[in-house]
Amino acid sequence: MNNNVQKIYAKDWHKVYFKGEEVKEADVGTFENIGDGYAKDWKTVYYNGKEVKDAEAQSFKIIGYGYAKDWKCVYYNGEMMKDAEVQSFQIIEKHK
């Protein structure tokens, strides 16, 4: 993964930024960059600085390679995968 993706979020005492643009409604005190373009605060998940609709921040976690999930849905690059089964979804690593 490109290391620059990990460094595109920034913050000051009052606001959070993505590539120099304010991330609207982000909570500075709880905001964290969790990787693969994803970030979250106590109530909202973001992908590339935009809110991930219907994602549940408290259970949201990165799976890898652009995939992530919360307790109810799987996401790819910030978009919900409507038919993916959350409990069984996993990355298939290349066989060595």
8 Å CB contact between 42 and 32:
no
Q: In what order do the strands lie in the sheet with 32-35?
A: 32-35, 38-40, 45-47, 50-51
Nearest to 5 by CA among 38, 28, 50: 38
Q: Which residues, 6 or more positions from 48, have their beta carbon under 8 angstroms from its beta carbon?
A: 8, 18, 37, 78
pLDDT in tens, 10-64: 999 999 999 999 999 999 999 999 999 999 999 999 999 999 999 999 999 999 9
State the pLDDT confidence band at 3, using cuts at 50, 70 and 90.
very low
pLDDT in tens, 74-96: 999 999 999 999 999 999 988 77
Instruction: Please give the model's pTM, rounded to 2 decimal places.
Output: 0.88
Say yes or no to pLDDT of 2 above 70: no
| Four-point Cα dihedral 80, 72, 65, 83, nearest 10 | -50
